[in-house]
Structure formats: structure tokens, C-alpha cells
Structure 1
Amino acid sequence: MKRPRWSWLAVAMMVTVTPATATNGYFAHGHGASQRAMGGAGTAMAEDAFAVTGNPAAGVWVGDALDATFTLLVPVRDYSATARGEGAGPGLFTIGQVDGLRSRRERFYVPGVAFARRAGRAHAWGLAVYANGLNTVYPGNAARFAKRIPLLTAECEGTFGGGAPVVGGPPDVAGLCGNDSPLTGVDLAQVLVVPHYSRRLGRRWSLGISPVLAVQRFEAKGLSAFAAFSNAPGQVSDRDMEYSFGGGVRVGVFGLPVDWLALGASFQSRIDMQPFDAYAGLFPEQGAFDIPSTWNVGFALLLPGRQRLALDFQRIGYRDVPIFRNGVEPEAFVNGCLLPRLLAAQTGGLLGDGGPSRSCLGGDGGPGFGWRNVGVLKVGYQVVLGSFVLRAGYSRSDTPIVPEHVLFNIVAPGVPDEHFTAGFSFRMSSALSVDVAAMYAPANPVRGPNPLSHVDAGLVRILGGAALPGLTEGDAIYGADPQDQEVEVDMYQLELTVGIGYRF
């Protein structure tokens, strides 16, 4: 893969980045110490060079500045899975019963840097580099395929059955176990390199534009049991770390219509990324993983006593992107992929060849996370007291994960919907400052049914199980079933950011 020249800066930074699970889905609640301390609010503020990450039009108001941050993020992620109800009939896929299985790796380190420089009285330019990401690594547990369906039942190590057959379990006659890693999880890191240019329009308004250049890396483990239900079975899981590159654009406007009020708005396009070729059999549209669009609006009140109160609203368009928009739709996945593959396997290809399908993993309509768009309300307050600037903030967002799509979100549990933040800056001299921000995102469990944990009577009869007890022709084919397995994902987070700011 040919790498564009700018990408070497991002790759160099990525060497120092460990991927983390951010909190508004997988986006960080803010960038730079001042934004992070104010709940992420900052579309209508220009406190430091990181202001351009929310609004490129703010650059001309920042002055000459260099800011660097280092963030320690501690996300605590877990999932639970219940047993199926009493009297449950055959099932397609269930996870071993577990209560609060916790992901490994709970400390992540995320650097960032931003620079702004004036070019005369009406122009400014600069550069910001920052990161997003998500990560899970679940040890142990097991999964069961085709429960009570003759010749197909298998019990495999790992949350999604990516390991070997469980010792003492049923023989894996159909070869459904992954036989790779019993560890289960994903590892995504994105670094964005954002040059910016802003220009004043008169004394009170400015416009800004930023090309958004991105590099991302991805790796998945423990998902290879689902290779049987993929259009590219060798490109589903347990491959090497894969990189991709892409770009988009952000535009913004900033203004001071009166002396006590600042307004800001910005829009970032969907960032088109090269597909992950090594995972063309996992993501919809043959490995596509673009970065969703966002837009922000905000205002800041400049209050007496050197106080400021900021309010932002942000919209993240997760449904722009197939990997987030597509969920596990049981009818399409079973009829369009799983059933034809099982029939082909059981009959040696006499009933179907198990060929490519848009409903299988990697297909245009294949399963993804099933997220919804996210709206985020952010409020922040700051006051200047001598050499100190004290800050506090709060944000509230929609949770992107909905209960009916909780199953695959075990590996991407972006459930927190609140952030409580605080911090300060200490001006050591006219040029140098130290900045600190802290964040707490409380737990917000999301619970829903495993849509693959039951199966209709017709499927079982086709596969040779017509005599199975408790199953009648009147059984529901798809949808909620009182005997479904329940799955719950949860996460809470702690974060500490330390930064240095220099004014030229």
C-alpha cells in the first residue's frame, strides 16, 4: 500500500499511541486540556491551539501558540451473558453464561499536539494532531454453535468461538470452531493530522478551513469462527495489524456579534478511508471503515469577573458509515447467509454452494455494530483567578448502542452517556503554562437479546431435527423470544490529561 507523504507524521505519532475506547461512541469528548476540562465545549472559544479541532475558524483568535498534551485513559469494560430460558428450543449461537467478564488492558496513553501562528492581522495557519480509538481484549469464556441441531452442534473456546473445541464438549463435526485465538477483541487507533487556515472578516468574524488527513490501524482477534459466514473467510480475524489512509475537510465560522457573546459553528465531512483489505471479510462493503461526519454549534458568554460559560451541541453521524449503520438483522443474516452456508456444509454442496451474499460478513448488507447517530450537549465554565484558570464541565449524549444490536458490541462497548470534568491552567510566565484536566464517565449498561440464540422450526426440520421436543410449527421465526439469551455490555472511564502551553 502506497502511503501519502503526510502520513509519516501520523504513523510516527501512532507508534506512541495505544488505542483506547473513547466515550461518545468512539470519539473523545474533547481535545486539548481546556476542552477536556470543560466537558468538551469549545466551538466558540479560543483558549489554546487545540481550539481548531472543534472549529478551524478559531485559529485566528488564538495568536501564536504551541500546545502539547499527554492523556492517561482508563476504560473499564465488561460484558455479561445469561443462560437461555427454561424450555428453550434449538439455537444458532450463544455465548457462555458469564457475569461481568472484564476486558484486559485498562491503561492507555494518548498524546496530542497543536500549533497556531498568525500571518499578519487577518490570517492564521497551523497544525493539530490528535487521536481516537477503541480496544477490547476478553480472556476465556466459550461459545456454542447450533445448539440441539444434529451434526452441527459445536462448543468452542473464546467469547465468539474463535478458539479450539472445548475439551469434553461435543465434537466439532462441521468445523465451526475458529481454531485460532481464544482471546477476543478489536484494536482500532486513528490519528488525525489537521492543517488549518483561518481569516478574519472585519473585526468580529472569521472563517476557517482544515483538510483532515487520517491514518488508522486495526486488528481483530477471536472472531475466526464467523469465517464460515463471510464472503472472504480468510480475511475475518487474527490477521496482522492493518493500516489505511484517507481524508476529508472541516469548515467553520466564529464571531463576536457583541462584546459579551461569542458564537461558533463547524462541519466535518465523512472522512473517506482506504478499506482494510486484511479484514475485507469482516466489515461491510469489503473492509470499509470510514470516519463519520460531525457538526458542532456553540456559544460562549463572556461574563463579568473574567468568567466564561460555554454551551455546545455536537452531532456525530455514525449512520453515515456501513460498519456502524448495519446491525445484526436476524432474518437477513439467517436466510441470506447462515442457512445457505449450513445447508451447503451439511450436504457437501448438494443444496447450495455457500457462495457470496450481501447478507454475509463483508457483504454490502453484512452485520456491523448497528449504532445510531449521537447528539452531545456540552457545557463548560471557567474563571480566571490570578495566575490560575479554573474549569469545570459536563456533557450528556445519546448512547449509540441500542439493545437489539448489543451482541456484536461486546467488542465495542461505547456506552457511557455522561462526562463529569474539571481542571485548571497555571500561568508560570507570560509565555508558559501548565494545564491539567480530569474526566469521569460513569457506567451505563446496555442490555438486550442475543438475536441468534434461537431458531425457527422450519430451519431445524430442514437440518434434520423435526422431532426435537418443545418446537412446533407455530413457533416465531424471528424477533424477540422470551427464551432468548440476554447480553449486557458496560463501561466506565477515568481520564487525566496534562499539557504544556507556550505563547510566542
Structure 2
Amino acid sequence: MKMEETPIMARTRQLLACALVASVAAVPSLSYATNGMFLIGYGTKSRGMGGVAIATPQDAIAGAVNPASIGFMKDRVDVGGDFFVPRAKARLGEGSEKLSYKSSANRFVMPAMGGAYKFNRKISVGFSAIPAGGGGSRYNMNLYNNITGSNVNDTLGVNLMIMQMNPTASYRLNKQNRIGASLVMSIQTFRAFGLDYFSTFTSIFNDTGQFPENLTNNGNDWAYGAGVRLGWMGRFFKERLSLGATYTSRVYMTKFDKYKDLFAEQGSLDTPENFGVGFGFKITPKLLIGADVTRTLYSKVRSIGNASATTTGNGFPDSPEENSLGADGGLGFGWDDQTVYKVGLAWEYSPKWTYRAGWNYGKSPIDEKNGEVLFNIVAPATTQNHMTLGATYAPNPKMEWSFSYVHAFKYEQEGPTLIGDTGKIQMYQDSVGVSFGFKL
């Protein structure tokens, strides 16, 4: 006898189907970060408000920021994506030896989705799949080869994509408060090309005098890992004020074996832990203001936070034995911890139209004064200020289309390098997002 499908079973099946489609679609995409190695926000609505989401959830993708937030949502599914156009430029050398080139890796599509379902009076469950961050550069002229006199027409660059899938649960403590947790399941893919200049900086070269096989030009490699995300959210004063806090653990990843001579700890590239707080306040029933402050601890991940080549001596901060590429204390990108400030507005102009605007600021994690520019030519995460706009059109109470635009203003960093020449990196970005929301 065939079992009759209940409304709960039907809704669960819909959520799982959407989750599967989004997960498969998102994995091949390449992401390009704007707050360091992370995006300024997840979901079209959040991105239209400067990335604000910790205490101001507006769609089911917000569960990827604060898992507690889905406890305040009605059943819904959101699917969307962003089209990114980053423009990076690097320069290395002085006078007649100066070589400057623009990155040609400048078009990326990044899908995302989320679903939320109220399981019972106390528990809500959900799922989100997001391109958490990453980066990419592709120079059709190799600036490093200009140092050694090698062929400058070789391609130089890296590609990193970080995809996260987050099964989520939220628990109702009382009328005002929810807590939540997500299992963060992560997939990374990475490849590098044109980094032969750094062969003499590797552990294997310093130990044996042989050139490394797992430094560059080895195609795509994959890493897998997991972490946890915890959150709290509360609504007070007749739901005019909302507060939230979230914490994401370090996401421990398997190692990139094809690039174990590049990253510290023999190919390790974990995703750093981060935490944040946020608030939202309804100035009027139709006008919402929100703000978030987040902190990312890049310094705790050695391949990201370890110092890169110094500007004096042999280039190693301590010694070749301790700081060779691939060693536990191997050279990194020298990124500092980053604090990001986000503020946004949402104005419900009519039952059909809502408009948004926001600002996002995070000081570049690259310290150009300490010689970090040389390594970061391939990872020019310099952008600091972002202006955002957004809108939602709801043709009926069940459906809505949302749109966002983000502009990351040009920012340039310049500093000394190991080779004695000045290095310079700059970037600015534009992105357009669209998403579809369906209320179950």
C-alpha cells in the first residue's frame, strides 16, 4: 500500500531537492572575496544592505550567518546568485625594470540557496549552500619571472573556491529568544600557476637542493572539512529591536597534497574562525536599520597568517629550516586579523516593493609595510569600502524577486619587497545579484 504524502513530508522533500540542486550547482563556481577571503554577505537581500544579517534575517540564506535566525522565519526557500567582476592590477620593479599587468580573471558566477521549515512549536530546521569565499587572479604576464630573467609571458595566478553546506537547527527558548547551530561542511578547490620563482624558498629545496614537485602548475586539488557555527538571536520591545551574536569555529580541512610545498604545514589551508554581533531596529514599521561587526582570525591559520618573505637577509623571518614553504612555520601571506563593520537600511515602500542600501568597511588584512606585497600579488585582497544597493519585488504574497548591486572601491597598497624593488597591488569590484524567494 502506497503511503500518502503529508504536508510535512512534501515540504521536507521540496527543501531537500532544492538543497541538492544548489549544492551541485555551486561546487564548480569560483568565488572572489571582498572582506579578506570572505564575501561581504550571503544572500541578495543581505548584500543589498551592506552584508548585514546577524540580527536582521530577511531570507533563508541568513541561516548561513546566524543559525538561530531561522527560528523567527516562516517556511520558505530562496535560490539566487551573484555575477562578480573584480579588477585587479599588480606592479613589481622600478624604472626600466618595472612590470605592471592587470589580472584577466575577472568574471565569476556564484550561486547560493537556503531553506527554512518550522518543524514544530520549538524547533525550526533549515539548510543553506553558499560560496563562502576564496579568490582568484590570472596575469597573462609573469611579474615574478621578470626578477629572474625567465619568460615573462608565462601565466601567473591562483584560484581558490570555498563552498559551504550548512544543515541547521534553531530552538525556541521563549517568545523573545532563539538559539541555533549548524554543521559547516566545506569543500575547497585550489590551483596555482607560474610560482616557480619561489622554488628556492621551499623545504625540499633547502633540505635536498632539489626543486619541488608540489609547488605550482599541478592543476586543481581538492580539500574537505567541517566545523560548527553557533548563534543566538532575540527580539524585544514589541519586536522593534533585534539583537544577535554568532560564532563559527575554525573549519579544519584535509591538505592540498598537490601543493604541499606551497602552503604551511605541508599543504594545510583551514578556513579561519570568525565571530560577530549585530542589531536591527525598526525606526518605523516600514523602515529598518541594521548593523553588524565581525572579526576574522586569519593569524591563527599558519598558511594565511604566517609572515611572508622579509625585505632583508635571505628572506626568511627566522631561518630556512623553520620558515621554508611547506614547513609548519612556513612562509604565508602575512594577513592580519580583520574587523568588518556593516550598516544597512531596508524601506518597505509598498506591499510589492522594498528598497535597501548599505555600507561595508573592513581594513585590508595585508600589511604592505612589512614586505607582504610580494606574495599577495596573486591574492590582492585590498578592497576596504563597499557601497551596496538592493530591492525586492513581490508580485504576490507567496513569491518575491530580489536584486542587489555591490561596488568595492579601488584601493591600492604599495610596499618594499625582498628583491629590493617596490611592489604595488590594487583592486576594485562590481557585482550584481538576483534571487527568487518562495514562501511555502
TM-score (norm 1): 0.78
* 2:229 aligned partner: 250
* 2:343 aligned partner: 379
* 1:460 aligned partner: none
Q: Do residues 286 (structure 1) and 266 (structure 2) align?
A: yes
**Matched position secondary structure for 1:292:** coil
Distance 1:495 1:366 in 2: 35
5+ residue gaps, structure 2: 1-18, 205-211
CA RMSD, aligned part only? 2.2
CA gap 1:336/1:392 in 2 versus in 1, 3 angstroms: closer
* 1:463 aligned partner: none
Q: Do residues 392 (structure 1) and 372 (structure 2) align?
A: no
* 1:157 aligned partner: 151
* 2:168 aligned partner: 196
Find 2:73's aligned residue among 41, 47, 62.
62
Q: How far is the alpha carbon of 1:63 from its aligned partner?
A: 1.4
* 1:488 aligned partner: 424
Q: How far is the alpha carbon of 1:10 from its aligned partner?
A: 8.2
Tell me if the contact between 1:333 and 1:366 (Cα under 8 Å) persists in the aligned partners. no
Find 1:25's aligned residue among 25, 36, 42.
36
5+ residue gaps, structure 1: 1-6, 86-95, 148-153, 164-181, 341-356, 454-483
CA gap 1:292/1:231 in 2 versus in 1, 3 angstroms: same
* 2:116 aligned partner: 116
Aligned letter for 2:182? S
Q: How far is the alpha carbon of 1:358 from its aligned partner?
A: 2.5
Tell me if the contact between 1:426 and 1:433 (Cα under 8 Å) persists in the aligned partners. yes
CA gap 1:317/1:397 in 2 versus in 1, 3 angstroms: same
Q: How far is the alpha carbon of 1:257 from its aligned partner?
A: 2.8
**Matched position secondary structure for 2:159:** strand
Find 1:13's aligned residue among 2, 22, 25.
25
> Which residues in structure 2 correspond to 1:99-138 (within 5 Å)?
99=100, 101-131=101-131, 132-138=133-139
> Which residues in structure 2 correspond to 1:246-395 (within 5 Å)?
246-259=225-238, 260-330=240-310, 334=314, 357-386=321-350, 387-395=352-360
CA gap 1:306/1:362 in 2 versus in 1, 3 angstroms: same
> Which residues in structure 2 correspond to 1:392-411 (within 5 Å)?
392-403=357-368, 404=370, 405-411=372-378
Q: How far is the alpha carbon of 1:144 from its aligned partner?
A: 6.0
Distance 1:10 1:187 in 2: 21
> Which residues in structure 2 correspond to 1:75-90 (within 5 Å)?
75-83=86-94
**Matched position secondary structure for 2:25:** helix
Q: How far is the alpha carbon of 1:143 from its aligned partner?
A: 4.1
Tell me if the contact between 1:10 and 1:215 (Cα under 8 Å) persists in the aligned partners. no
Q: How far is the alpha carbon of 1:330 from its aligned partner?
A: 2.7
* 1:228 aligned partner: 200
Q: How far is the alpha carbon of 1:499 from its aligned partner?
A: 0.4
Q: How far is the alpha carbon of 1:225 from its aligned partner?
A: 3.2
**Matched position secondary structure for 1:60:** helix
Distance 1:32 1:368 in 2: 31
CA gap 1:33/1:8 in 2 versus in 1, 3 angstroms: closer
Of the two, which has the highest radius of gyration?
1
Tell me if the contact between 1:194 and 1:213 (Cα under 8 Å) persists in the aligned partners. yes
* 2:5 aligned partner: none
**Matched position secondary structure for 1:411:** coil
Distance 1:338 1:375 in 2: 28
* 2:392 aligned partner: 425
- CA deviation digits over 1:378-427, x for unaligned, max 9? 00101112111110000111111111211100000001111100110011
The number of equivalent residue pairs is 410
Aligned letter for 1:253? W
* 2:380 aligned partner: 413
Q: Do residues 140 (structure 1) and 151 (structure 2) align?
A: no
Identity %: 30
CA gap 1:225/1:58 in 2 versus in 1, 3 angstroms: same
Tell me if the contact between 2:84 and 2:109 (Cα under 8 Å) persists in the aligned partners. yes
> Which residues in structure 2 correspond to 1:23-62 (within 5 Å)?
23-62=34-73
TM-score (norm 2): 0.89
Aligned letter for 2:192? A
- CA deviation digits over 1:136-194, x for unaligned, max 9? 0011245468x8xxxxxx41124xxxx7xxxxxxxxxxxxxxxxxx1000010111000
Distance 2:250 2:227 in 1: 6
